[in-house]
Amino acid sequence: MKMPALVALSLVVTSAACKSDNGPKEGASPKAEATSEGASNPASEAENAKAATSLNAAAPKEGANAGAPGAPPAPPSIPAPEDVAAPPTDAEKTASGLASKVLKAGSEQGHPAASDTVVVHYTGWTTDGKMFDSSRLRGEPARFPLGRVIAGWTEGLQLMTKGESRRLWIPEALAYKGMPGRPQGMLVFDVELIDIIAPPPAPPDVAKAPKKAKKSKSGLAYLQLEPGKGTEHPKPESVVSVHYTGWTTDGKAFDSSITRGQPARFPLNRVIPGWTEGLQLMVAGEKARFWIPEELAYKGQPGAPQGTLVFDVELLEIMAPPPGPPPGHPSVPGNHAH
Alpha-carbon distances of 274 from 85, 220, 269, 299, rounded to whole Å:
49, 7, 11, 11
- Contacts (Cβ under 8 Å, ≥6 apart) of 327: none
Alpha carbon 160 to its chain centroid, in Å, reads: 20
Catalytic residue among 144, 170, 176, 272: 176
- Cα three-residue angle 323-325-330, rounded to 5 degrees: 155
Give the strand pairing for 221-226 and 287-292: antiparallel
290 is catalytic: no
Say whether pTM exceeds 0.75.
Answer: no
- Cα three-residue angle 326-331-333, rounded to 5 degrees: 165
Q: In this predicted structure, what is the pLDDT of residue 283?
A: 97
How much is the average pLDDT of 318-327?
A: 74
Catalytic residue among 132, 144, 266, 290: 132
Confidence of residue 105 (pLDDT cuts 50, 70, 90): very high
266 is catalytic: no
Confidence of residue 325 (pLDDT cuts 50, 70, 90): low
**Looking at the predicted structure, is the pLDDT value of residue 278 above 70?**
yes
Structural domains of the chain, with CATH? 214-319 (3.10.50.40)
- Contacts (Cβ under 8 Å, ≥6 apart) of 214: 221, 222, 223
Closest CA to 310 of 213, 236, 239: 213
Alpha-carbon distances of 32 from 35, 138, 176, rounded to whole Å:
10, 31, 24
**Looking at the predicted structure, is the pLDDT value of residue 197 above 60?**
yes
Q: Which residue has the higher pLDDT, 84 or 302?
A: 84
Which range is least confidently modeled, 123-132, 227-236, 293-302, 328-337?
328-337
189 is catalytic: yes
Catalytic residue among 116, 144, 170, 189: 189
Q: In this predicted structure, what is the pLDDT of residue 34?
A: 36
Closest CA to 317 of 259, 247, 230, 246: 230
133 is catalytic: yes
132 is catalytic: yes
Confidence of residue 71 (pLDDT cuts 50, 70, 90): low
How much is the average pLDDT of 329-336?
A: 36
Catalytic residue among 21, 116, 144, 150: 150
Q: In this predicted structure, what is the pLDDT of residue 17?
A: 33
**Looking at the predicted structure, is the pLDDT value of residue 184 above 60?**
yes
- Contacts (Cβ under 8 Å, ≥6 apart) of 49: 2
Q: Could you write out the DSSP letters of every residue in 151-197? A: HHHHHHHTT--TT-EEEEEE-GGGTTTT-TTS--SSEEEEEEEEEEE
Give pLDDT tens digits for 128-169: 999 999 999 999 999 988 888 999 999 999 999 999 999 999
Give the strand pairing for 264-267 and 309-319: unpaired
If 0-12 CB within 10 Å is exposed, 13-18 middle and 19+ buried, where does residue 137 land?
middle
Amino acid letter, 42: P
Which range is least confidently modeled, 8-12, 103-107, 152-156, 258-262?
8-12
